[in-house]
């Protein structure tokens, strides 16, 4: 909105008019009746008062005191900017724990923390790569490093990450050792060994199975386990049994070694004489383990390995990070992606749902475990993940457990079927996560084209953001190929901040970043716009009053103060305080206005007072008679609202605190409930469908990339609701962290997020809230 006349000019003009009319009325007249003289006297007195006020106001202007507004930012915008700055400082940190530290190698962006790798700490975790292949972690510190520089650590692709162990103690019991030998090392087509079983004893291992010698022959080996050097683990056979009989003396007499009986030459293990030489880094399926075994202790409970950093970069004892769970994992720093979500510069704890039970974490099946658990956030962005221990009791997990054991390919010469199956599962999941329905893609392009085409009644800036996606690589983990996020809200008390907001009956919109190619950052409302695609909202009168008092009138000096808006039939009654030209008199004059609201065009509303009362004295007729507009006496021009003549004009794009609300107004109706605004439906707007479990009050966000807390959700599907509420969902955009931190987040197998604002156990219960939109939006939060 642009002011065509300065405050000083309108004051001078008003004073001149008042003075001229007052001077004219002071000229001698012919005698008339007492009644006529009385009326003329009253008018002259009122005119003189008005002129005196105008003269005083002009004098104040001449001394430089008058001001039509202020450029200072409202308090709530300053507070939000401060919060954003704090979040940026958290994201910009370069994490370190004790002697371990990461480095920033790239600039911090909305999609990339610039930190390669993550620090991982684990304690009392039965870690499985898949199935029974894995080991018991008593304690461990390590660094997770992406194979491709600049990429995030991807939980769903173990081949993409290397685990460099700094310090730890792990144990492989009989089942874990057997799984490595029987299901991984020698379970491939053409293998000379099968049905392997490994049993640890005091100081030795006993390995049984069958070997191929023109038929399958039982064999048993007993021997020791030792390190040849940092990369190779050696099992040395000291006693050999063939078909149940000792073969030691015969083999010694015939100078026969195990390597003469069996041909074992694989990428993981080989036979050299009577030694089985194994590559430490390849003993389990990916992720690759980079570690140095410094001590081996073989007991009937299992083989315990002590791991240490070959560079001696850390001390003997692990320095644990803050908030390290008694049982679980802690991952700090860098970007880690699981399914559709990627926490940036992560601060994540992984714990079991039942802290008293053994915690089995199966990396290849973590999705099933996560879907059976939940997540919680702290307001600062730290993430606590509760996983159900594997195996998860559900149909999918039982089917996986009962699936027949696969064997590896002859070319691989080890059981590579684990990796093939995992990568096939990943490809299927990634296709699902990256899939964008054609209706959303097409509708986004059409609505974006309509938005930027320049409608006659809506002024769109030439650089208005487009909702269409830019071409992205098919395997880009940090962005989706889809359009900007679509949103559907149903029966929601939607607060922008504090008491300012509206009740959404039903609304479709699109969240569009102002800079093309960027995700929508919910923590920075100035970074994106909300493009309304159709629907209906109610602005309750208490919320309208808060819009003025908490935001639009948050500056000095000002003309209006402490406004209260109430319906009066089809009209709107406004009460409050007034000062002429922002400062005269020195106290607020009680003022009441009553008028109607009309739609000027698809963007603007106008409130036109038909009556104005100051100190109980009607003034509207006098001002009209003197041809003095309200705007000349009470100049008011702020972002989104201004007095123009005798009308208060609202710009629905910018009258609310950021983000900008872009929509096509169809009608505005004054009701007892509030001001009902209807928005024209975009002809090509897509129809998005929330899950059936959404209920009657929710916010559903689909497609596009959204940054919530410090996590980037790629091609997201996010439901926000409150399972405890009988009435509308209460959602505060500026304070969403506070509300989400009290609730729980569940992640489905397809990566969809279910954000339940119902306080979880241990969270401070929120105060009861009224269910009606007017009452709830009126309450102080």
Average pLDDT value over all residues in the chain: 83
Predicted local distance difference test score (pLDDT) of residue 705: 97
Model pLDDT, residue 556: 85
Confidence band for 558, pLDDT divided at 50, 70 and 90: confident
Confidence band of 471 (pLDDT split at 50, 70, 90): very low
Classify residue 18 by its DSSP letter.
Answer: H
Q: What is the DSSP string of 721-770?
A: E-TT-SS-EEEESTTHHHHHHHSEEEE-TT--EEEE-SPPTTSPPPPP--
Angle at 170 between CA 367 and CA 173, to 5 degrees: 85
Write out pLDDT tens, residues 487-540.
999 999 999 999 999 999 999 999 999 999 999 999 999 999 999 999 999 999
Average confidence (pLDDT) over 280-286:
93
Per-residue model confidence as pLDDT tens digits over 153-202: 999 999 999 999 999 999 999 999 999 999 999 999 999 999 999 999 99
**777: Cβ–Cβ under 8 A, 6 or more apart, which residues?**
493, 495, 499, 501, 502, 503, 540, 542, 543
- The domain ranges of the chain are 7-62, 91-173+312-397, 174-300, 483-537+683-778, 539-657
3-state helix, strand, coil in the chain (%, to 5): 25, 35, 40
Q: What is the pLDDT of residue 465?
A: 40
Report residue 5's pLDDT band, with 50, 70 and 90 as the boundaries: very low
Prediction pTM value = 0.84
Query: Positive or negative, the Cα torsion across 736, 737, 738, 744?
Result: positive
Answer whether 714's CB lies under 8 Å from 60's CB.
no
Ranking 292-306, 423-437, 707-721 by mean pLDDT, the lowest is 423-437
pLDDT digits over 228-238, tens only?
988 899 999 99
- Would you state the pLDDT for residue 474? 56
Contacts of 581 (CB under 8 A, 6+ apart): 7, 11, 57, 60, 61, 66, 559, 633, 634, 635
The better pLDDT of the pair 758, 313 is held by 758
Pairing of strands 347-352, 193-200: unpaired
Pairing of strands 486-497, 698-702: antiparallel
How high is the pLDDT of residue 404?
A: 64
Q: Hey, what are 375's tokens?
A: 């997540």
CA distance 204 to 688: 63
- Name the more confident of 38 and 345: 345
Q: What is the mean pLDDT of residues 710-739?
A: 94
Q: Name the most confidently modeled range: 165-174, 244-253, 464-473, 766-775.
A: 165-174
With a CB cutoff of 8 Å and minimum separation 6, the contacts of 106 are 112, 114, 150
Contacts of 67 (CB under 8 A, 6+ apart): 7, 557, 582, 583
DSSP E strand boundaries for 309-404: 328-332, 336-337, 341-343, 347-352, 360-362, 374-377, 383-387
Which region among 96-105, 172-181, 455-464, 669-678 has the lowest average model confidence (pLDDT)? 455-464
d(CA 388, CA 762): 19
Is the omega angle on the peptide bond into residue 659 within 30 degrees of 0, that is, cis? yes
pLDDT value of position 473 = 53
What's the Cα-to-Cα distance from 212 to each of 192, 216, 251, 478, 481, rounded to whole Å? 5, 5, 17, 50, 52
Distance CA 633, CA 623 (A): 10
| Section 103-114 average pLDDT | 95
- CA 127, CA 360: separation in Å to the nearest integer? 6
How confident is the model over 132-160, as pLDDT tens digits? Answer: 999 999 999 999 999 999 999 999 999 99
pLDDT at residue 114 above 70? yes
């Amino acid at each position: 909105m642009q002011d065509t006349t300065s405050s000083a000019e309108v004051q001078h003009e008003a004073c001149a008019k008042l003075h001229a009319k007052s001077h004219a009325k002071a000229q001698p007249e012919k005698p008339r009746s007492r009644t006529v003289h009385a009326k003329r006297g009253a008018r002259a007195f009122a005119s003189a008062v008005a002129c005196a006020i105008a003269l005083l106001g002009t004098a104040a202007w001449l001394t430089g005191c008058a001001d039509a507004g202020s450029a200072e930012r409202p308090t709530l915008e300053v507070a939000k900017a401060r919060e954003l700055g704090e979040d940026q400082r958290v994201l910009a940190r370069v994490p370190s724990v004790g002697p371990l530290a990461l480095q920033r190698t790239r600039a911090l962006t909305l999609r990339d923390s610039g930190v390669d790798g993550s620090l991982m700490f684990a304690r009392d975790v039965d870690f499985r790569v898949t199935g029974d292949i894995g080991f018991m972690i008593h304690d461990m510190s390590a660094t997770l490093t992406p194979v491709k520089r600049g990429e995030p650590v991807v939980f769903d692709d173990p081949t993409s990450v290397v685990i460099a162990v700094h310090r730890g103690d792990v144990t492989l019991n009989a089942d874990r050792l057997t799984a490595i030998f029987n299901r991984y090392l020698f379970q491939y087509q053409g293998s000379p060994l099968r049905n392997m079983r490994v049993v640890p004893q005091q100081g030795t291992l006993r390995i049984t199975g069958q070997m191929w010698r023109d038929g399958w022959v039982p064999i048993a080996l007993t021997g020791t386990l030792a390190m040849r050097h940092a990369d190779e683990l050696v099992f040395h056979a000291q006693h050999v049994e063939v078909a149940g009989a000792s073969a030691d003396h015969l083999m010694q007499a015939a100078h026969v070694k195990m390597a003469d009986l069996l041909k074992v030459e694989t990428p993981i293990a080989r036979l050299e004489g009577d030694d089985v030489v194994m590559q430490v880094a390849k003993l389990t399926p990916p992720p690759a383990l980079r570690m140095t075994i410094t001590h081996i202790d073989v007991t009937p409970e299992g083989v315990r390995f002590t791991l240490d950093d070959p560079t001696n970069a850390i001390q003997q004892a692990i320095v644990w990070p803050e908030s390290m769970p008694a049982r679980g994992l802690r991952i700090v720093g860098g970007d880690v992606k699981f399914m559709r979500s990627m926490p940036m510069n992560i601060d994540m704890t992984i714990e079991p749902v039942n802290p008293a039970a053994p915690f089995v974490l199966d990396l290849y099946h973590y999705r099933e475990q996560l879907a059976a658990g939940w997540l919680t956030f702290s307001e600062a962005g730290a993430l606590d993940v509760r996983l159900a221990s594997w195996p998860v009791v559900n149909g999918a997990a039982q089917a996986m457990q009962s699936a027949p054991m696969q064997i590896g390919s002859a070319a691989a010469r080890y059981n590579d079927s684990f990796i093939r199956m995992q990568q096939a599962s990943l490809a299927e999941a990634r296709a699902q996560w990256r899939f964008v329905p054609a209706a959303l893609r097409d509708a986004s392009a059409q609505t974006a084209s309509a938005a930027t085409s320049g409608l006659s009644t809506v002024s769109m800036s030439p650089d208005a953001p487009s909702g269409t996606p830019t071409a992205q690589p098919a395997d880009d983990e940090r962005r989706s190929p889809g359009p900007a996020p679509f949103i559907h809200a149903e029966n929601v008390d939607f607060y922008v901040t504090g008491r300012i907001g509206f009740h959404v009956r039903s609304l479709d919109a699109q969240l569009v970043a102002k800079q093309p190619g960027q995700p929508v950052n919910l923590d920075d409302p100035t970074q994106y716009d909300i493009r309304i695609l159709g629907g209906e909202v109610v602005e309750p009168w208490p919320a309208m009053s808060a819009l003025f008092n908490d935001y639009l009138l948050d500056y000095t000096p000002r003309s209006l103060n402490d406004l209260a808006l109430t319906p009066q039939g089809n009209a709107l009654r406004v009460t409050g305080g007034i000062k002429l030209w922002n400062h005269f008199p020195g106290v607020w004059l009680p003022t009441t206005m009553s008028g109607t609201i009309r739609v000027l065009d698809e963007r603007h509303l106008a409130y036109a007072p038909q009556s104005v009362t100051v100190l109980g004295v009607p003034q509207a007729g006098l001002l009209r008679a003197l041809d003095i507009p309200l705007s000349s006496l009470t100049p008011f021009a702020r972002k989104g609202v201004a007095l123009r003549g005798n009308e208060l004009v609202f710009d629905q794009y910018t009258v609310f605190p950021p983000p900008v609300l872009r929509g096509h107004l169809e009608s505005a109706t004054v009701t007892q409930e509030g001001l009902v605004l209807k928005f024209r439906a975009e002809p090509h707007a897509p129809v998005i469908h929330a899950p059936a479990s959404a209920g009657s009050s929710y916010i559903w966000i689909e497609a596009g990339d959204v940054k919530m807390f410090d996590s980037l959700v790629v091609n997201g599907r996010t439901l926000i609701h409150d399972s405890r509420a009988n009435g509308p969902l209460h959602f505060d955009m500026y304070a969403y962290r506070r509300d989400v931190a009290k609730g729980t987040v569940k992640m489905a197998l397809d990566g969809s997020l279910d954000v339940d604002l119902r306080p979880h156990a241990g969270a401070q219960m929120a105060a009861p809230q009224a269910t009606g939109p007017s009452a709830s939006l009126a309450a102080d939060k």
